[in-house]
Chain A
Amino acid sequence: AQSVTQPDIHITVSEGASLELRCNYSYGATPYLFWYVQSPGQGLQLLLKYFSGDTLVQGIKGFEAEFKRSQSSFNLRKPSVHWSDAAEYFCAVGLLNYGGSQGNLIFGKGTKLSVKP
């Protein structure tokens, strides 16, 4: 069965430091992968997506993610974190067997990012 794992529930980084949020997936083929961000009390906003081609994907707000097939990973990175990046981040994978009880995307449980001044 397809699944998405975000191993880190909560990460704290200092402002200006680099960031890497981990995402691992279980999938039988090349997946469609997404990263979303959620500010407190808000909906989710799409940061970036990977379908095929270049394994390094650029997104909004200065984020990028790298698809590594050998590691079944799609980690999100940012070179220098700003205080406004404090939020919760969700990784998602597109489901091939759309029509079941999970819709078209499976979401990880999220990683909450705190930023120290």
Chain B
Amino acid sequence: DGGITQSPKYLFRKEGQNVTLSCEQNLNHDAMYWYRQDPGQGLRLIYYSQIVNDFQKGDIAEGYSVSREKKESFPLTVTSAQKNPTAFYLCASSRASGADQPQHFGDGTRLSIL
């Protein structure tokens, strides 16, 4: 079955450390997205990519970085510059980048500070 795989499910970060969250999709979707979810704040967009080798900042990109070297992969790095990284991170994809395109979500990665 096609879907989106996020790993790991739980991740712990030490102070000053960069960590990378994995997101892989086998839906053959062009567009991919990273969201941060905090209690009561809904989903906030970190980065998105409409096509391979291209990505754009979302509303809360500071302290994060991404790459899109392959269509199926869109890893997110939480850098040491992100001072409050504890959150639930969701990766999503859509077939194309239009307003009519529903997003399909992975099961998330929960990041905590040690």
Contact = CB atoms under 8 A, between A and B. Distances in A.
Interface of A: 9, 32, 34, 36, 41-46, 49, 51, 90, 94-96, 98-99, 101-105, 107-110
A78 B83 CA distance: 42
A102 B59 contact: yes
Contacts of B92: 43-44
- Assign chain B's interface to a size class: 20 to 34
A107 B58 CA distance: 13
A110 B102 contact: no
Contacts of A45: 105
B43 A90 contact: yes
B100 interface: yes
Interface string B75-95: 000000000000000101010
24 contacts: A32-B99, A32-B100, A34-B102, A43-B105, A44-B43, A44-B90, A44-B103, A46-B102, A46-B104, A94-B99, A98-B98, A98-B99, A101-B56, A101-B58, A101-B59, A102-B59, A103-B33, A104-B99, A104-B103, A105-B102, A107-B42, A108-B42, A109-B41, A110-B42
A98 B99 CA distance: 7
Contacts of A99: 50, 56
Nearest to B49: A103
B97 interface: yes
A94 B59 CA distance: 16
B45 A51 contact: no
Contacts of B105: 36, 43-45
Given A101-B57, A109-B41, 9 more contacts: A43-B108, A94-B99, A99-B50, A99-B56, A103-B58, A104-B103, A105-B103, A109-B40, A109-B42
